[in-house]
Each structure stands twice: as C-alpha cells, then as structure tokens.
Amino acid sequence: MKIRSMKLREAHKNNGVSSYCTVQWDLTAEHIVTSSSSDSVISIHDALVPSATPKFLRNHKDGVTNLALSPNSTCLASGSTDRSVKLYKFPGGEFESNISRFTLPIRALSFNRSGTMLAAGGDDDGIKLIITIDGSISRVLKGHRGSVTAIAFDPKSEYLASVDSVGTVMIWNLELGTTIHTLKNIAPNSSSDFSTLTALGWSPDGEMLAVSGLKNDIVMYDRDTAEKLFTLRGDHTKPVCFLAWSLNGKYLATSGLDRQVLIWDIATKHDIERQKFDEMISCMSWKPHGNALAVIDVMGKYGVWDSVVPSSMKSPTEGVPDSNSHKSNGLVFFEEEEKEPSISGSLSDDGEDSFLGSEPTSRKRLRKQIEYDDSDEGEDINDGMSLLSKSESRKKPSIGDKESMKKSKATPTSTLSFTGPKMQEAFQPGSTPAQPGKRRFLCYNMLGSITTMKHDEYSHIEIDFHDTGRGPRIPAMTDRFGFTMASLNENGSVFANLCNEKNMSTLMYRPFKSWANNSEWSMRFEEEEVRAVALGSSWVAAVTSLNFLRIFTEGGLQRHVVSLDGPVVTASGFGDELAVVTHSSPTLPSNEQQMLEFSVFNVPNGTETIRGRLPLTPGSCLTWFGFSEEGQLTSFDSMGFLRAFTKQYGGRWLPLFSASKLKKKEENYWMVGLNSSKLFSILCKSPDKFPQAFPKPVLTLLDLSIPIASSDLGAENLENEFIISNMRLSEIQRRIQEMDALGQDTTSLDDEAFNIETALDRCILRLIHSCCNGDKLVRAIELVKLLTHEKSVRGAIKLVTTLKLPNLAERFNTILEERLLKEATETMLKETTEKKDTLPKTNGDTIKTFTSPEISKAREPVNELKSPQLTSPSFVKKKATQEPAKVGKVLEPKETTKPDLKALVNKNVADLKEGEVKQVEVQRSSNPFAKSSKNQEKGSLLDSLKMLKKNESPSNK
C-alpha cells in the first residue's frame, strides 16, 4: 500500500516543543476548533474558508490541555493547566462560566450524549461529573493511581470509561458511582510524556470499548463483561496514542508514536488507508458530513484529510446509529435564556449581535451605562444609542422590548431615542465610565494607570506604574472632589472634575518629585467646567466648557488663556507639544460624520505648529487621541482605524491599522498607545467597549497593518512593511533636518535612519523576489530603483541572476551604472563649486574659472560592470572633511569605473555653454575618472571625456 502525504497549516505556535493538541469538528461541519497545551488560546477555524482568520478565545491563563463539544455543538468546554474548566457558547465563543476548578492540571474532558453532564479528570485524585445546568458536582469518581488521560461516556449513558497514565482502564457505573471493571496494565504507560496520551473510545453503538494495547495494537473489549474480543494489529511500529471511531462505527482511525495514521475496516480487521506525517498526530476528529478527517500534530499544525475511506467502500457517515439523545435540546442553561424571546428567535444571534439590543437584558445593561456615563463618557453613550436606534428601526421589538420601551418613556433619564445625529461629547483618553460599586480608570496609558473607587462621601485614588522601577512609589490619595478625568506623565499627575451639586469644577496638579514642600496646587472654576486635561514637559493644560484653553506652569502659574474655535473633544500632551481636538461644525446628517479639527501648539514658544481637519471613518466617533512613544500624533476611531499624522503630501493622516481584519463581532479593541511598530490595546468582550479596572487588564500587542488592497503577488505583509518603513524613514529624515537647522547633534537619528534604510532594503529585496516569481518584471525594476545601498543593488543583481533572468539582470546593471555615474558627477561638481569659493578676488570680482585635469591613458582597460564584481562608491552619502586644495597637485583615485559617456558628455556640454569657462588647476581627487601621470596637460572637461572614450580598449566595448 502506498503511503500518502499531506500538508498541515499552523494553528498554534508551540515554540518547537511537543505538546498535546486537540482538534474538534462541530455538528454542522462549518467549524474546526483547535487548542494546544503550550498555548492559552483556543482557535475556532472556518472549515469552509480555511484561509480566513480564526476566532480566538483568550480566557485561559495557561495552555489548553483538552476540548469537548456538546453533541448538539451549542457548548464548548475547555480544560487547562491553569486548573480551570470553562464553558463557552458555540460557535460564537462567548464565555459562559468557570464551571469547575481543580487543584492540578486537567487532562481529559467528555460530554454525555444529552449534553447535561461533563466529565473532567486530570492530575487530581478523582474524576468530577459536573452538571452543566448549574455547575454542581454530581459525583467524584476515585480509584485511579495515575493521572487520568482519557475519558469516554458510553453512548447509552450507563457507563463511563477512563484510562490513566500508568495504563489502567476503569469502567464506571454512572448510576451507582462505582467501578464495575478494572483492567490493569493493559495500556501503554504515558506518565513520562503527557503529549502522548493513551487512546480510549467507545464504538458508536456502545457495544465495544477500544483501547491502545501494549503491542502497538488496538484491543477491543466487550461492553458488559470487559472480555477481550479481538485486536487490530498492522503496520504501527510504536504504540497507538489516539483513536477515533467513524460516526457509523465501521471504521477506526488510529495515530501512533511512529507518526502514522491508519484507517481500519472493523469488519475485515485490516487497515485500508494510511498517512505519514512529519510529526506525531495527537488528536483526530471525523467530519460529521462527508468523508474527511481533521488531524493536528504535537507542533500545533492541523489539516483535513479528504477522501479518507476509498470511494469503493461505504461512507463513514452512512448508516449512523439512531440515538434517543438527539431529541434533547442540549444544555439546560441555554434553554433558560430562551424563556425571554429574542427578536430573531435564535440564540446564536444574541451572541453575535448582543449590543444591538436584541434582548431586554442587554438593553437594561445599556440603560445603566447611559445613566452612569452621562457625565464623562458621552461618546460611548452616543455610539450605543445610535446603534440601538438603527436596530429598532429595522426590527420589530419583542414583547420584553415593548415593556422596556414603555418604562423608558416614563423615565426621562433612560430615554434611548433622539432626533438627528449628535455631536460627540468631550472625553479623556484612557478614561473609562463610572460604574456603581466598581473601580474605574481615570487614566490608562503606556506609563501607568490612575484608578478610583467611590465610597459614600469620597473616592480612593491610586497611581500605579507598569514598570515599578521606572516611576516613584506614589501614596494613595483621598478624593473629596469627585474627579472624573486625569492625565499622567513622568513628572506628575493632573486631575479634574465636572460641576456637581457639591463641588464646582476643580483642577489639581500633583508633582511626583519637588525640592519644596506643598508643591501641589489646585484651581477652581465658577462659571465653567473642565472638559479635558493634558500634561507636558513643564506645563499643565485644561480645556473648559467656555472653549478656553488654559495653560499653567508646573508650579501653578497661569501663563495663557486661549479661545478655541469650537467645543473641545479631547486633548493630549507630549514634551513641548499640546494637541487639542475641537468640533469645527455640527455633525453631517447624511452619514453621521463628526466634523472635527485638530491643532498642535508648541507651549514654550507660544506658537501653533499644525492645524487641520481630523479625518474619521464615516459614521464613527473619535475614541482615542494622543502621541506615540516617538512623538507622532495619532488617532483611533470607533470603527477600529488608527491614523498617524505625517508631513508627507503637505501634511496628511495615514491609516496605520485597521481592526476590521482582526476584530470579531464579539471583540472590541480599547486603545492604550503605540510605538513605531506595535499597537497596544486591551481586548474587550462585546458588548463591553472598555476594560474593568479590577482585575488588572492584560495588554494585547498588535502589529501595525495598513489597509492595503489585496495584491496579485500575495505579498501583502511585505507591502505593508514597505509602506510603514518608508513612512518611518521619512519622519526620521524630517527630524534630522529640523535638528540640523538648529545645530543639534543628530548622530543617534543618523544611526536609526541607517538601520531603517537597511531593513527597508531587505524588504525590497524580498518583494523583488516575489515579483520575479510572479512574473512582474516591470514592478521589479521599479523596486530596484528604490534601494538605498549599493550592496543591496548588488544583491538584487545576484538574485535575478540566480533566478536565471538575464534580461532583468542587465537592466539592473544599467540602473547601477547610472546611479554610480550620477554619484560621481555630483561629487565632482560639488568639489568644483567649493574650489570656486576659495579663489582670490580681483577688483572686487570673483574670477570665474573652471577646468578639469586631463585624463591620461588608463594602464588597464575599464571592465564592463557585472553583478558579482561591482566595485563602486556606496550610495549612502557621508559627510567628510577634506584639506584645502593645493593648486597644481593632482592625486590619483583608488578605483575607476566606466561611466555612461554619452549622458555625461551631453550634460557637461550644456553646462559649458552657459557662460565663459576659464581654466584653473584643481585637486585631482575631485575627478573620479583621473589617472596618475607624470606629463599632465590642462584641458576642458569635454576634452577629457573625449580622451577617455578614445582610450577605451576593444575588449570593453
């Protein structure tokens, strides 16, 4: 029998470590679920579109050791080395509950056929039988001496079979909770490596139990007597580590430590197909509809083996045994939620569109947020209200919804409808809405966080730094003003509150370090209230309801009061720069577009450096605004688009990230900050749009990805890197020019620019390779012209030569020659210009003279440029100091290259015709085409070039 092979795709990164991985088909065959004991993330893959980005469930802290799907595929259970068992709705993936906890890692999970009971076992002493209705423990089955590695419910729901790491199989009576059979030392010992768990499984009719044997075989045992019926022994050279019955019970798939998967015909007791893999297959799952098998190996790579059973034999889904369990509606806790009818009448819709108010409970939760958020988080309210109003306009409300709407009419504070689009309310970046009895963030940024917890008469404020060694330890503060916003930097923190019945709006600044006592200060506003605050290197700023921008020093001196053009939306500071966003006009009713304007002020100089419109995605609102760690101004809107301001194209905003390709319906990204390559955010589960302050949220790092079009090369990642690197290089070069103009040292920026140029060249070379493979040669020529370093062009020539593209290599050579000639000519003209400035003056006029030393006959012919032996000056221009030229002395250059004579002659003829040219001796080093000679003659540059052409050897033509 010929051994076939198939390719697998990566589902989990195990970092080169063999780990037990799990794979499951759902009942509809539309999804494949995978997990790895080396990865805390569960992945739900689209089986119909394998290339689509999977849905990730990130609820476990440590690796996921096992998965189990309920028979009707409405519930997913997961066990982990973090000792917890979690339940999720499926396929939406909404987290349902921590249904149980263990003291040691979990190794095995299994649902009964009705989905009302979940068995979980592992390194703990005992198997827990968990009722999925309420999470209660029905029984704990104790008797195994080793870790429980596999569990299987009898399809008739009478027995439970389990096997442990020392090879003991036990069959339990579920009604009595006692063992009816104990089979010792019949399975391989797996206590040394949990990535190879012992195989165990009931046949679909429940008459046989299959167990991996000690002789690289599979042994079948009788259901009632536990007597050995027969064995399946074939070409496995090592023990079987996993087995899976087909749905009709006619076939059995087995995976061995020998990295083979065999398909057995139970009737003939022979294997009928096999696959050889690069790594051991740790788990398999038969497709519910069709002839396919999903597999995953110990390195986290999965795939689907199609046409598992030969077409001449019966399908693995033909004649599936009937079971009364199919009459069950699934888990009881799902049925309880259906007692309140939803708009769509299905539970999956609630999971996918819960924020649109499809259930009364979601709307009640939204009302509570509106009541509490009315003071400081208006943008979340408006967003939620607009979404809700849209859903109500196109869907009929349920009975529960109608009752809720009647109550809302009676209570003005809970009104959900409004006329026309509203202008976005002011917000503070990094602040979360207030929630009764819960801690909230006043500020959360890349440096640290400020949290507050409200008590009866006051609030308790704490300041924490992410890096405890970076900032000082700040004692907690008692807040009696009711602060609702704050800002934090290395120097101190600023707080402010809105007006309320007890307190007027107050601004307070607390420095972290000061040589003087009582350095804290505060300001009160009687007829206005603070809407946004910001901090800089030596200043504090507040924007008020009167559209006043108030600027204070760190000591509390009031320096400036500036009137802004419109109501403030938000503000942010970085160093000397203060950025403020205001409304420029009312919202456009056509697409609910917010009309915003931004201004950037240099506070110490009292100048406005940048001003313009702030672009937003149509229908969105601004959710975050600030500076990157490098000081680049950025914005983030509710549609998940991140934009950065650049001086390119006269000052424009470039999109650097789009959450549309990553964001799932049940996920929201809460922006924290960014650097030159990463976006820092917190992942929130829908309908939440902001994180809870306790427990401390976990930052999610996302790569910057420009929303580029799908390329015909299939190299979107390279094109994304190319655009981002170009933008970074442009920004650094702009900063170098600004520092040069101020006479500041730019050494560090020069080094950074060189590193980016090098990385950009590597990216371009990979793009050239993709173009060559895709037969896009014109694009390859365009790319090679963008290379910065000479060495990179040599590499491109070598690359296309290796790919056997001689025409392209010749064109690359031509491009290199032209650039080398241009470089040499610019150097020569520059040094000639410098010589003009050093010539003596006569009668107040500078003697305008120009000459070039004669190019003597070359000792060796100038060889034609070829890719492996190109020797020319680097394209990178470096500043060099030279000694003053000595008239009459000509130095010999070290190397000579063949220029494009025709182009250079035409250029210099045009230059010579511009005016009268007189001769003067110059230093020979200014002419890279000069050769040493004892007999030197004076001549024009044109004569010298003619001489060079005449002296060319025939071999070079």
Return the DSSP state at 924. Answer: G
Q: Do domains 17-305 and 439-662 have the same CATH topology?
A: yes
Task: Identify which of 806, 669, 658 has the alpha carbon closest to the alpha carbon of residue 720.
Answer: 658
Task: Write out the DSSP string of 273-324.
Answer: EEEE-SS-EEEEEE-SSSSEEEEEETTSEEEEEES-S-TTS--TTTTPPP-G
- Distance between start and end Cα atoms, the chain: 64
Locate the DSSP E strands across 898-948.
938-939
Task: Identify which of 522, 605, 614 has the alpha carbon closest to the alpha carbon of residue 572.
Answer: 614
Instruction: Spell out the residues 6+ positions from residue 466 whose beta carbon is closer than 8 angstroms to its own.
Output: 446, 447, 448, 449
Residue 109's CB: how many other CB atoms inside 10 A? 23
Task: Write out the DSSP string of 116-143.
Answer: SEEEEEESSSSEEEEETTT--EEEEE--
* SS3 at position 148: strand
- Segment holding 85, helix H or strand E: strand 84-89
Residue with tokens 């396919």: 292
Residue with tokens 């050769």: 931
- Supply the pLDDT for residue 834: 75
**Beta-bridge mates of residue 479:** 459
- Supply the pLDDT for residue 486: 96
Residue with tokens 């923190």: 493
Q: What is the Cα–Cα distance from 857 to 22, expressed in whole angstroms? A: 77
C-beta separation of 496 from 486 below 8 A:
yes
Q: Tell me the C-alpha to C-alpha distance, in Å, between residue 547 and each of 507, 579, 797.
A: 16, 14, 61
Residue 889's CB: how many other CB atoms inside 10 A? 11
Q: Dihedral angle at the C-alpha atoms of 208, 240, 269, 235, nearest 10 degrees?
A: -170
C-beta separation of 304 from 47 below 8 A:
yes
Return the DSSP state at 752. Answer: H
**Beta-bridge mates of residue 680:** 673, 701
Locate the DSSP E strands across 165-250.
169-173, 178-183, 200-202, 208-212, 218-222, 228-232, 240-245
Which mean pLDDT values do the consecutive 10-residue runs of the chain (957 residues) have?
70 87 93 94 92 92 94 93 94 91 93 92 92 87 92 92 93 91 90 74 94 93 93 92 94 94 94 92 93 93 92 87 45 38 33 34 35 39 39 38 40 35 88 88 94 86 85 83 93 91 87 86 91 95 95 94 94 96 84 87 94 91 94 92 90 89 77 91 86 88 86 84 89 87 88 91 93 91 92 92 92 92 88 72 46 39 39 41 38 41 46 40 39 41 52 48
- Supply the pLDDT for residue 406: 38
Structure tokens of 477? 């503060």
C-beta separation of 283 from 263 below 8 A:
no
Q: What is the Cα–Cα distance from 78 to 257, expressed in whole angstroms? A: 25
- Supply the pLDDT for residue 375: 39
Instruction: Spell out the residues 6+ positions from residue 178 whose beta carbon is closer than 8 angstroms to its own.
Output: 172
Q: What is the Cα–Cα distance from 558 to 540, expressed in whole angstroms? A: 10
Task: Identify which of 116, 77, 125 has the alpha carbon closest to the alpha carbon of residue 100.
Answer: 77
Q: Is pTM beyond 0.85 here?
A: no
Amino acid identity of residue 650, one-letter, is: G
Task: Identify which of 670, 21, 541 has the alpha carbon closest to the alpha carbon of residue 297.
Answer: 21
Instruction: Spell out the residues 6+ positions from residue 185 whose beta carbon is closer than 8 angstroms to its own.
Output: 166, 167, 168, 214
- Would you list the domain boundaries of the chain? 17-305, 439-662, 715-827
Return the DSSP state at 705. Answer: B
Q: What is the Cα–Cα distance from 570 to 824, expressed in whole angstroms? A: 52
Q: What is the Cα–Cα distance from 35 to 63, expressed in whole angstroms? A: 8
- Supply the pLDDT for residue 909: 41
- Supply the pLDDT for residue 591: 63
CATH topology of domain 439-662: Methylamine Dehydrogenase; Chain H (2.130.10)
Q: Residue 138: is it exposed, middle or buried by C-beta count within 10 angstroms (0-12/13-18/19+)?
A: middle
C-beta separation of 706 from 689 below 8 A:
no
Task: Write out the DSSP string of 599-648.
Answer: EEEETTTTEEEEEEEE---TT--EEEEEE-TTS-EEEEETTSEEEEEESG
Q: What is the Cα–Cα distance from 630 to 634, expressed in whole angstroms? A: 11
Residue with tokens 């759902």: 26
Structure tokens of 690? 């902001």
Structure tokens of 860? 């060796």
Q: What is the Cα–Cα distance from 284 to 240, expressed in whole angstroms? A: 13
Packed helices 360-373 and 399-410: angle between N→C axes, nearest 10 degrees: 20
Please give the CATH number for the structural domain made up of 17-305.
2.130.10.10
Amino acid identity of residue 430, one-letter, is: G
- Supply the pLDDT for residue 471: 65
Residue with tokens 């029998």: 1
Instruction: Spell out the residues 6+ positions from residue 267 whose beta carbon is closer than 8 angstroms to its own.
Output: 250
- Supply the pLDDT for residue 107: 92
Q: What is the Cα–Cα distance from 397 to 486, expressed in whole angstroms? A: 40
Structure tokens of 795? 């590499």
- Segment holding 362, helix H or strand E: helix 360-373
* SS3 at position 555: coil
Task: Identify which of 522, 520, 446 has the alpha carbon closest to the alpha carbon of residue 483.
Answer: 522
- Supply the pLDDT for residue 198: 73
Amino acid identity of residue 305, one-letter, is: W
* SS3 at position 52: coil
Q: Residue 812: is it exposed, middle or buried by C-beta count within 10 angstroms (0-12/13-18/19+)?
A: buried
Q: What is the Cα–Cα distance from 243 to 293, expressed in whole angstroms? A: 12
